[in-house]
Amino acid sequence: MPPVPAPHVIVPDFLTADVHASLLQWTLENQAAFVAARVYTGVDEERRRALVLSDIGPFKMLLASLASKQYKGWIAAMNLPPFEVAGIELELAAHNDGAHFHRHIDNQTVRPANGTHRALSAVYYFYREPKAFTGGQLRIYSMDSEGADKVFAAVEPAQNTLAVFPSFAPHQVMPVQCPSQEFADSRFAVNCWLHVRTNG
């Protein structure tokens, strides 16, 4: 059987229109709190270029609650083994002109110290309209080493859409083009990682 992209689920209209609008407004109001994104070795713009905010204030509990209520349906749709959530990690990211994230695996980019690891990744996309950027597609690759670089699903960062995939799936964020270079014109995303208890 030829290699296929890792399993993934796309959830359109993930948030209500009111919550979506409030999240965008809050994001723009908190521009000054964003910092350069890090990988496990620190800030490395060759690997990842983005601005991030780890505290999403009034939206933390709402988004964590939605993920907790819906994740079992997501893993069933992907034919993944069930698990109990041991923690939820959230991050707000802004991708402006030139932003990207090289191919990586989410459960290898952090070193959790609480006896858990990332099991499921979910990315929620939103932006100001009219849309002022291009690019920024999420590529989800095959987990089969044969032809792994050539086999992938390309997920467009569509407004108010959630993309879900296993945290062990190789993926990357393609470069973003944002001619204005204004923060408000960025490709925004909430990264959500659902953790599972590490055996032993």
Comparing CA positions, the residue from 180, 195, 196, 190 lying closest to residue 11 is 190
Stretch 78-99: mean pLDDT: 97
- Superfamily of the domain at 9-197: q2cbj1_9rhob like domain (2.60.120.620)
- pTM for this structure? 0.95
What is the DSSP-derived secondary structure letter of residue 57?
Answer: G
> Per-residue confidence at 109, pLDDT binned at 50, 70, 90?
low
Contact between residue 95 and residue 176 where contact means Cβ atoms under 8 Å apart: yes
Tokens at 86, concatenated: 């041991």
What pLDDT, on a 0 to 100 scale, did the predictor assign at position 145?
A: 66
- Model confidence at 133, pLDDT cuts 50, 70, 90, reads very high
Q: By mean pLDDT, which of 33-37, 38-42, 101-105, 196-200 is the weakest?
A: 196-200
Report the pLDDT value the prediction gives residue 18, as an integer from 0 to 100.
Answer: 98
